[in-house]
């Protein structure tokens, strides 16, 4: 539930920043939003790259999953972690 709320929040943040590119805000806020967008793109790209680097040799991330990690950041990684824990618990029950 909270992971989905975080995803919606990230969509709103991305929309707010893209809106600033289309229709710039007044000057001091415009510069802040430009810097924030560059920082967010950089941090989400690093997060995706580091996750790919920490995978085992045989494992690969799909392009769709990489895109979701880039846009949703930590919320997508939390969803992945939750799915992995559920899969481990299901395997233990069998």
Query: Rounded to two decimals, what is the model's pTM?
Result: 0.82
**CA atoms 25, 21, 74, 76: torsion sign:** positive
The pLDDT assigned to 94 comes to 74
How would you label 6-31 residue by residue, b for 16+ Cβ within 10 Å and e otherwise?
Answer: bbeebeeebeebeebeeeeeeeeeee
Is residue 1 classed as helix, strand or coil in its secondary structure?
coil
Assess whether pLDDT exceeds 90 at residue 60: no
In this prediction, residue 5 has a pLDDT band, given cuts at 50, 70 and 90, of: very high
- DSSP element (H, E) containing 67: helix 63-72
Assess whether pLDDT exceeds 90 at residue 58: no
CA distance 9 to 40: 14
């Amino acid at each position: 539930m909270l992971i989905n709320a975080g995803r919606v929040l990230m969509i709103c943040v991305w929309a707010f920043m893209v809106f600033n590119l289309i229709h710039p805000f007044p000057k001091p806020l415009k510069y802040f939003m430009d810097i924030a967008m560059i920082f967010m793109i950089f941090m989400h790209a690093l997060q995706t790259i580091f996750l790919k680097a920490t995978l085992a040799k045989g494992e690969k991330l799909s392009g769709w999953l990489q895109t979701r990690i880039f846009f949703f950041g930590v919320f997508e990684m939390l969803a992945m972690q939750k799915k992995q824990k559920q899969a481990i618990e299901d395997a233990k029950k069998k």
